[in-house]
Amino acid sequence: MIEKIDLDKRDWIAGLEKGLRVIEAFNDAHPRLTASTAARRTGITRSAARRYLLTLQHLGYVDSDGQHFWLTPKVLRLGWSYFDSAKVPRAAQPHLQRISVALGGAAFFAVLDEDDVVFVARDGFSQIQNVGFVLGARLSANLVAAGVAMLSCQSPAEIDHWLSGRKFVAYTPHTATTEAAVRENINNARNRGYALLEQQLTLSVRGIAVPIRKRSGEIVGAVSVSLPMEGETSERAVARALPLLREAEYALMSAF
C-alpha cells in the first residue's frame, strides 16, 4: 500500500487516518476484532491498535467485552452526516419522486466512490426487495444501470483500469461475468447515451440510467430507475423512462 502523499507532513494527522482504518477494519468477515486482529488488519502495532480501540470505545463508537470489540450504531452518525450535508442527494430528491410516480418504479441517484456505485438518494418502492438498494449501499458498478452509465463516461484508460483484475460475481444466470460482456454493456451505454441493464442483479428487473454532469462536464452521478420487466419490452420501457430521466438530467445539470 504505497500512497503518494505530497501533503506537507505537518498537515497530516496520523492518528485520524489510523483510527478510520480501524473502523473500516470491521466488516462482514470480521464483525468483532481483538486488539491483535485489528492490528493485523490495519497494519499498525498491537499496542497502537489497542489504544485506538479503547479510544473509540470511550467515544461510544465501539463496544467491548474486554476482549473483543464491535461497532455500535453510533458509527452510523458518521455516514448520516453525509446525507444531512450533501447537496447532491437533496437536489435530486424531487426529480426522483417525479420519476418514480410517473413510471411506477423506484428511482435512484447514485454516485461513484472508487470502484463502487453508492446509492445516495431514492424515491418510490418496487417489488424489488433486494437489500442492495438501500441508501448508502455499495455495489460493483457493472451490476446496476447507474454504475454502467457512469463508467461509460470515463476514458478508455480509466475503464481499463476499472476492469483490471476485477472479479465478476454472478447474482443471476444473466449477470455479465466476463470482461468482454461487461465491456459491451459499457460500450452500449456510451453509444446510446443511457444505460440499460436487465437481470444483472435481480431476476425480472430492468434498470435504465443516465449519467449526470455538471455544466463543466464533470460526472457527478447518475439517475436511474428500476422497473419490473414483465409485460413490457425493453424498447417500450426506454421510451417511457428516458424522457423523464433526461428531464432530470437537464434540471440537475444547472443545479450543480
Partner DNA sequence: GACTATTGCGCGACAATCGCGCAATAGTGT
Partner DNA sequence: ACACTATTGCGCGATTGTCGCGCAATAGTC
Q: Whole-angstrom Cα distance, residue 102 to residue 36?
A: 54
Task: Classify residue 206 as exposed, middle or buried by CB count within 10 Å of its CB (0-12, 13-18, 19+).
Answer: buried
Nearer to DNA, 31 or 243 (CB): 31
Strand intervals (E) in 124-228:
138-140, 195-198, 205-213, 219-228
Residue keyed to cell 433486494:
130
Closest contact distance (angstroms) between CB of 214 and a second copy is: 13
Task: Indicate which of DNA, a second copy, none lies near residue 138 (CB less than 5 to 8 Å, by partner kind).
Answer: a second copy
DSSP code of residue 172: S
Note the helical H segments in 139-233.
145-151, 156-163, 179-192
Pairing of strands 195-198, 205-213: antiparallel
Task: Indicate which of a second copy, DNA, none lies near residue 35 (CB less than 5 to 8 Å, by partner kind).
Answer: DNA
User: Which among 24-32, 163-171, 189-197, 209-217 is the span making contact with a second copy, rule CB under 8 A?
Assistant: 24-32
Closest contact distance (angstroms) between CB of 233 and a second copy is: 26
Question: With binding defined as CB under 8 A, does residue 254 bind a second copy?
Answer: no
Nearer to a second copy, 43 or 79 (CB): 79
Nearer to a second copy, 60 or 234 (CB): 60
Q: Which of 1, 2, 16, 157 binds a second copy (CB under 8 A)?
A: 16
Q: Where does this chain bind DNA (CB under 7 A)?
A: 8-10, 12-15, 18, 34-37, 44-48, 50-52, 66-67
Residues 79, 228: contact at Cβ < 8 Å? Answer: no
Residues 56, 22: contact at Cβ < 8 Å? Answer: yes
- Looking at the DSSP bridge assignments, the partners of residue 219 are 213
Closest contact distance (angstroms) between CB of 204 and DNA is: 47
- Taking every pair of Cα atoms in the chain, the longest distance, rounded to a whole number of angstroms, is 62
* Contact mark string toward a second copy, 44..83, x via CB under 8 A: ------xxx-xxx-xxxx--------xxxxxxxxxxxxx-
Give the binding site for a second copy (CB under 8 A).
5, 7, 10-20, 23-24, 26-28, 30-32, 50-52, 54-56, 58-61, 70-82, 84-87, 111, 113-114, 118, 120, 122-127, 129, 134-138
